[in-house]
Structure 1
Amino acid sequence: MRRPPSLFLSHGSPMMALEPSPARDFLAGLGAHLPRPRAILVVSAHHDAAYQGGRATVAASTAPPTIHDFGGFPDELFAMRYPAPGDPALAARVVELLAGRGLHVTADAARGLDHGAWVPLSLIYPDADIPVVQLSIASNATPEWHYALGQALAPLRDEGVLIVGSGSITHNLRALFSARPPIDAPAPAWVTDFTDWVAERMSVGAVDDVLNSVERAPHGADNHPTPDHILPLFVAMGAGGTPLKGERLHHSVTYGLLAMDVYAFD
């Protein structure tokens, strides 16, 4: 079995499940170019230990429900389900690996898949026939903590597990809701300056710069007023191994302000 890479996906709006876009087209073709994994571990920006009393959790359900963690969207979106099986044994393995690095998480048999997981996976693997386990971020923890989390999970790739960090390379919802641009609006300079800086630092393996991109990159705080959606990038980086070899597989924007970059690490 070929070892899967680790991936970072910008999952954008939940409407990506329904609306045509370059990012949607890219994800719909991505699965054909990846080694077929035996299971998928998704680290989603919408599963945040900071809002669970600091308790990091990994979903251990045998049949994780589809969570519609959003509002104000069409009924068609709420009717969608992603009935992938769970993998409690993989969840237990995650707990074991993280405990070995002093990173303690607990299994949650009730947790389902939020839209950060099921929207992109419904495009990449539409048959929903690969087991999926979801792991929380901790937005009150540092970028370095999330990078170490990814490093601890890296052995799973040798066991045929695809590790996916699902967030967004830019994520300023206040600016988005204020401007309400059309889906095909061009990106302003404050968005592209940030994404181009990250891509350049990634290309030369500058781990410390990328981990501190919100502080060091042009318009970092404008693109990430909160850290939650960039933290899955750091997990994917850590799981990719050293030295850092990050390849930007896709770049586009939706609604002008949501950059949809996808990275692979191997």
Structure 2
Amino acid sequence: MNLQTLPGLFISHGSPMLALDPEQVGPALNRLSLNLPKPESIIVMSAHWESHALEVSTSIRPETWHDFRGFPEELYEIRYPASGNPQLAEEILHFFAEAHIPAHANSTRPRDHGVWMPLLHMYPNADIPVVEISLPTNMSAKDIYTVGHILAPLRERQILLIGSGSITHNLRELSWNGSNSNVPEWASTFRNYVVSKLAHRDFDAVLDWQSIPFVHRNHPTIEHLAPLFFAMGTGDRFSIVHSSFSMGALGMDIYRFD
């Protein structure tokens, strides 16, 4: 069987309410999945699994974790029962060992919403094994990029690599009341700068994230931008799958790397 190489993706997963109110990004994720060959497995680095050193989920069937508070009860009833893939997880750990990157197996970690929420729209049948890897807080942007680069050859085996975060993520400045809010200039300027640099293959400018205009206003903490560095490492041809804002300043972009 001739397998088609899958891309690497950066997905802005937005608010947990995306599971109930897909807005524009839910249909975009669904269309994306329909336009790709069905993956054999999926690997996700999520903004919501921060760890000191790199960790890999080796669980056979991770629990669906509702790692948020204060949302409608029906959101907490959602389950995403896709299996894990312990064999692939062990292979990932071997890749990291060969690259002299310390990494550890984790067999108990539940699956956070940075993983299951976008996959709910992409693969609602939950019939594709998923392995989550952590976001190490001791790694630089270039280090995280290297993690994506190390795993990039798995794309040729029809394994989908995803960095799940958000292109902008300042929750204190969002319009939570549901009214249509104009996108503030500081959010659009940041997003447009990143897209321009990626489109011109100036990846170094994005990895130098502290120099991006308005970076601290868009990302008071860096964990939702960092999965982009992982996705950038998976391929050097950049394209935009979807672009929109939610609640004013919450960027919902989806990027593809081939």
For Structure 1 versus Structure 2, the TM-score category normalised by the shorter chain is over 0.9
How far apart are the structure 1 equivalents of 2:156 and 2:96? 16
CA deviation vs aligned residue, 1:95-114 (integer Å, no higher than 9, x gap): 01111111121111111210
Percent identity between matched residues is 43
Residues 69/86 of structure 1: CA separation in 2 closer, same or farther (3 Å cut): same
The TM-score, its normalising length taken from structure 2, stands at 0.96
> 1:89 aligns to what?
87
> 1:24 aligns to what?
26
How far apart are the structure 2 equivalents of 1:253 and 1:68? 24
Task: Using the TM superposition, give the Cα deviation of residue 181 of structure 1 relative to its aligned residue in structure 2, in angstroms.
Answer: 5.0
Number of residue-to-residue matches in the alignment: 256
How far apart are the structure 2 equivalents of 1:104 and 1:163? 20
Q: Which moved more, 1:100-109 or 1:199-208?
A: 100-109
Helix, strand or coil for the counterpart of 1:45? Answer: strand
CA deviation vs aligned residue, 1:102-133 (integer Å, no higher than 9, x gap): 11211111112100000000000000000000
**Is residue 259 from structure 1 mapped to residue 237 from structure 2 by the alignment?**
no
> 1:170 aligns to what?
168
How far apart are the structure 1 equivalents of 2:180 and 2:93? 42
How far apart are the structure 1 equivalents of 2:206 and 2:40? 30
Pairs within 5 Å for 1:220-235: 220-235=215-230
The TM-score, its normalising length taken from structure 1, stands at 0.93
**Residue number among 101, 109, 112 corresponding to 2:110 in the alignment:** 112
**Is residue 186 from structure 1 mapped to residue 178 from structure 2 by the alignment?**
no
Q: Is the 8 A contact 1:139 1:227 kept in 2?
A: no
Pairs within 5 Å for 1:9-48: 9-48=11-50
How far apart are the structure 2 equivalents of 1:100 and 1:152? 10
**Residue number among 123, 134, 144 corresponding to 1:125 in the alignment:** 123
Q: Is the 8 A contact 2:67 2:113 kept in 1?
A: yes
CA deviation vs aligned residue, 1:59-89 (integer Å, no higher than 9, x gap): 1111111011000001110000000011000
CA deviation vs aligned residue, 1:8-30 (integer Å, no higher than 9, x gap): 00000010000141112211222
**Is residue 206 from structure 1 mapped to residue 202 from structure 2 by the alignment?**
yes
Q: Is the 8 A contact 2:32 2:241 kept in 1?
A: no
Q: CA-atom RMSD, angstroms?
A: 1.2
Which segments of 5 or more consecutive residues in structure 1 lack a partner in the other structure? none
Q: Is the 8 A contact 1:139 1:231 kept in 2?
A: no
Task: Using the TM superposition, give the Cα deviation of residue 183 of structure 1 relative to its aligned residue in structure 2, in angstroms.
Answer: 5.7
Which segments of 5 or more consecutive residues in structure 2 lack a partner in the other structure? none
How far apart are the structure 2 equivalents of 1:20 and 1:144? 33
CA deviation vs aligned residue, 1:221-264 (integer Å, no higher than 9, x gap): 11111110011100111111xxx211111100110111001000
Q: Which moved more, 1:23-32 or 1:4-13?
A: 23-32
Q: Is the 8 A contact 2:241 2:255 kept in 1?
A: yes
